[in-house]
Amino acid sequence: MAHASDGHSLEFKLPDLGEGLTEAEIVRWLVEVGDVVAVDQPVVEVETAKAMVEVPCPYGGVVTARFGEEGTELPVGAPLVTVAVGGAAAVGAGPARDSGGGAAGTPVAETPAAERKAEGSGNVLVGYGTSEAPARRRRVRPGHQAATGASERANGRVRGAEPVDGPVRTAEPVDGPVPVISPLVRRLARQHDLDLRELTGSGPDGLILRADVEYALRAAAAQGGRTAETEAGTSRVPDAASAALSSASAASSAARSDGTRVPLKGVRGAVADKLSRSRREIPDATCWVDADATELMRARTAMNASGGPKISLVALLARICTAALARFPELNSTVDTEAREIVRLDRVHLGFAAQTDRGLVVPVVRDVHTRDAEALTAEFARLTEAARGGRLTPGELTGGTFTLNNYGVFGVDGSTPIINHPEAAMLGVGRIVPKPWVHEGELAVRQVVQLSLTFDHRVCDGGTAGGFLRYVADCVEQPAVLLRTL
């Protein structure tokens, strides 16, 4: 492709789209190679562990390359597109940019930072845009050209684009922290006593991926098997251990070939990681109680008959939770494990479980303690609709301090929910059904609900948890109790 002499190419990389997100899957490309894009025009739709996001490019010009097919999972910092900016429009744009410059235009590395900044939109989203971020250095082995990493990325060697050849061992020490794609990869290496400083990652700028660690572990296992055979004086060929490992893996896969494999990624993977961490780190306990919800249902019916906006049951339960947390603030807290401190939070941000086609998500209603039932009803409806449409932003899925789980919508009476880490408690609400109940000394049919509270035993004892749950039940049975706290 050819550019005007004063034009050059800029590379736009996958930005950090939210708290703790390290990767995203390409769902749909919104532009083709050769298209002219405007500043801040969305170029790709990606799915993170939290939401579906349209990613805008901060540069305007002609798209000269796209990296990754639809369905490819890219780590944060991997190239997304290159855009020819400045001068005349590109002619005959090819499918990929040249890694060495020349015909592909001025390499990104040679473009002055000030010039790149001036050409951007100035609209800095989370972790990217026109603000300059410190570049991560990659240490290369002696004799290895520094352009190798750029050439590999230009040829599509990113996670999911083609098989990873595995890490290259190097004896040269690495200064500073080792760039690793996620804490899970770091923990995997620690569990197997693998020194990450001995690996050169196959990700962008030397980023160490899970595949790199797994490759190193397989290589170490094969090497250990060959060493043991040599010491025992066996007559097996040098690659016997590797062959045995491959055979065992193939046999294991064959044994499970009659099933369907579903990748544990995206929302489902994020849920799995978070729940596993909660079970691993939080010493939780659960208490429960049955409550007569007849009066609460009558109160809601009366409120909705007044002609104003309809009030949802979950909004009333949220108001009850807020009043209970004001009396028992221990449950609106989090544990700082490093400082060994309990942090009691001043504001109540209520998460609520929402089931969607993409899996379970927990949107967060901010500052519940400042909203009335009408405002809460509207916010719950808005977030639920956004969740089902996959339009929740990362900010709407993070920062909760307490969670309300209405599993009664699934037709079940009770549950022992897992705490939404790093919160300290979760209130579960079962279905409300007619049951025989002793009311005012006589047996009657009443609307009964089971309430359960799972709490972090580090932040409080059973007396506090029981007091919280009993107060919630009292408000459900006698809504006038709640009115006295407002």
pLDDT score of 226 more than 70? no
pLDDT confidence of 144, banded at 50, 70, 90?
A: very low
Q: How does residue 120 score in pLDDT terms, banded at 50, 70 and 90? A: low
pLDDT-based confidence at 470, cuts 50/70/90? very high
Report d(CA 240, CA 76) in Å as an integer. Answer: 39
DSSP lists the bridge partners of residue 355 as: 360
Q: How far is 5 from 10, CA to CA, in rounded Å? A: 15
Report all structural domains of the chain as residue ranges with CATH numbers, in order of start: 8-119 (2.40.50.100), 163-246 (no CATH), 284-483 (3.30.559.10)
205 is catalytic: no
Contact, 415 vs 452, CB < 8 A?
A: yes
Q: Show the DSSP H helices in 174-239 as ranges.
A: 183-191, 210-232
Q: What is the DSSP letter of 14?
A: P
Task: Say whether 457 is catalytic.
Answer: yes
- The mean pLDDT value of the chain amounts to 76
- Which of 99, 101, 111 is closest to 152 using CA atoms? 99
Does the pLDDT at position 116 exceed 60?
no
**Spatial distance between the Cα atoms of 193 and 181, rounded to a whole number of angstroms:** 18
CB 200 within 8 A of CB 227: no
pLDDT top residue among 483 and 449: 449
From the list 195, 239, 367, 461, the catalytic residue is 461
**Which residue did the predictor score with more confidence, 20 or 149?**
20
Tens digit of each residue's pLDDT (9 = 90 or more) over 329-358: 999 999 999 999 999 999 999 999 888 877
Joined tokens for residue 251: 């046999």
Whole-number Å distance between alpha carbons of 371 and 356: 26
Cα(197)–Cα(265) distance, rounded to whole angstroms? 27
Q: How confident is the model at residue 76 (pLDDT cuts 50, 70, 90)?
A: confident
User: Going by C-beta distance under 8 Å and a sequence separation of 6 or more, which residues neighbour residue 468?
Assistant: 324, 325, 327, 328, 331, 425, 453, 455
pLDDT score recorded for residue 236: 45
Share of the chain above pLDDT 70, in %: 69
SS3 state of residue 217: helix
Q: Which amino acid is at 478?
A: Q
Euclidean distance between CA atoms 359 and 389, whole angstroms: 12
Stretch 189-212: mean pLDDT: 78
Over residues 261-309, the pLDDT tens digits come to 888 877 677 778 888 999 999 999 999 999 999 999 999 999 999 888 8
> Active-site residue among 336, 369, 457, 474?
457
Torsion angle in degrees (nearest 10) through CA of 429, 433, 437, 440: 80
Lowest mean pLDDT among 14-28, 158-172, 440-454: 158-172
CA distance linking residue 298 with residue 75, whole number of Å: 52
Q: Using DSSP bridges, classify how beta strands 284-292 and 41-47 pair: parallel, antiparallel or unpaired.
A: unpaired
Q: Give the per-residue pLDDT at 208.
A: 82
The mean-pLDDT minimum among 26-35, 155-164, 405-414 falls in: 155-164
Peptide bond preceding 238 in cis form (omega within 30 of 0): no
Q: What does DSSP assign to residue 370?
A: G
pLDDT at 138 over 50: no
The residue among 385 and 120 whose pLDDT is bigger is: 385
Structure token digits, residue 169 = 């061992």
Mean pLDDT, to the nearest integer, of 140-151?
39
Comparing 2 with 486, which gets the higher pLDDT?
Answer: 486
DSSP string, 390-447: T---GGGGS--SEEEE-GGGGT-S---PPP-TT-SEEEEE---EEEEEEETTEEEEEE
What's the CA gap between 216 and 189, in Å, rounded?
Answer: 9
